[in-house]
Structure 1
Amino acid sequence: MLSYQHAYHAGNLADVHKHALLAQALDYLTQKDKPLSYLETHAGRGLYDLSGAEAQKTGEAAQGISLVEQWFGADHPYRRALTAIREKHGPSAYPGSPLIAQTLLRDTDHIHLAELHPQEHAALHYTLSAAENTKVYQKDGFELAQSLCPPDPRRGLILIDPSWEVKDDYATMPRFVGTLTKKWNVGIVMIWYPILTDPQHKPMIAAIRDMHPDALIHEVAFPPARKGHRMIGSGMAILNPPWGLTDHATALTKRFKSL
């Protein structure tokens, strides 16, 4: 949705959940000396300033990564990405998932990023497109995924992370994922979704479970960022989860329960 601006929410607890699991999955994939494809349907701008007016207005990063970064040791891939990006962009820099992926992946891997919002796309292009292995598209992410799948190389991962401000996304996501996996049955598919006071995600997740009984469904709860805030948790539905990711998700659950 073109009105959504992630700068207000960058580094919040949902980002921590999503990015920690994404980094772990990418770390697993890069342990093999074979190139891979990374696709993202709703990439955002890729890099955020946690000292900026947007982040300061909501305070979500202060309750997110700034509070819980110690959960992750120096050798955790999420922490490694944060360290490398801050060294390049400054101590208040926070990466979106495209920059985390670009930081952890190799020159031989192929990165495809979609972002429809004109300003967010321009920022994304500025930050990431200099790398020869990265292509940035100003295009609807669902359309791009369908056009590229199966990607070359076929080994790889797609992150699907819409704003969820379009309510039809909940109804159409299972069908979209079903079509995608028929084309690309070996790809790791990661779908992030918010857990709201009105649990709109439940029918969607039930449908995904029916179609993909081996999917990893991982949900964490956390306090609302402020009074009246509707998001009270974060979910990830992961199809073809890489080996060991369930254990990492379980460890993350214990961390969130400590909040």
Structure 2
Amino acid sequence: MDSSDQADRISNLPDVLLVLIVSCLSFKECVQTCALSKRIHEQTFEISISYPKTYLDVIESLIAFAVHKRVKNLVHDFSNPAWRTFHDVNLDELVVEIPQSVYDLATLESLKVGACKKFDPAKLSNLGKLKTVSFGWMELKNPELFLKTSRVEKYERIINCVFLLNCIFNLPRVDILKYSGDLFRFEFDNMNIIISEVEFDFRVLDNNNDESKDSNTAEGGMLCHLLNNLLDDGGRSATTLTVCPFLLKMIPKSEHPHFLGSMETKHLVLKTELHPR
């Protein structure tokens, strides 16, 4: 056996044993194990803390550790499970700021960022390797530069983000696009002709107390425009299209529901929540 293999026996273990061992370790021991094993530190590093304000020093050290280990899949999620919409978020609670070292991390292939302060996706420099991104619970002030220049293939989830400007999605390589949250005016340009998965989840708006006719008409019109624009009035198709009851409820209430164009999909999925009586 090669001497390097003897020095790093952890990396030779199968995944099921590796996960079992690491799950039984204390946090400090996990960090030490990651430092020893080349295989572990090349994969995923996740930091998920619901109340980060009292752990800022620890979080800073953990982020530096992940950057030093040059991980491929990085998760920085500081959202609170009690949040339901972005209106539940107090901006003062967004206290973790992503350092420049993360934006410059050349090994990143997957990035999930949630509830971070002043996050700017346009500063990400490794757009050649980055394939999957997920953003949530924060303001995205300038996403267009990132959207136009990235080579991302999967937007696994954009959750309850606030877009301060109308957003144009220029994503020629994206094969999976999922969004949940409030309704904004999105424009889609230069997308794949066939998109494998599209999901729009506006269930948070079902609790909206504004049931006025004008509000319903406006929301229905925006949803018609969203689908027409994404599917390019029939020029694009989604293999799987997942929608929510809110979308189906509001489109008929738009001023011109018949303006919703024809669309081609193999699988139409309704995402709902069923409660026992």
What TM-score bracket applies, with the shorter chain setting the length? 0.3 to 0.5
Q: Judging by fraction of residues, say which structure has more strand.
A: 2
Q: Which has the higher contact order (CA 8 A, sep 6+)?
A: 1
Q: Which one has the bigger helix percentage?
A: 1
Q: TM-score, normalised by structure 2?
A: 0.31
Structure of greater Rg: 2
Tell me the TM-score normalized by structure 1. Answer: 0.33
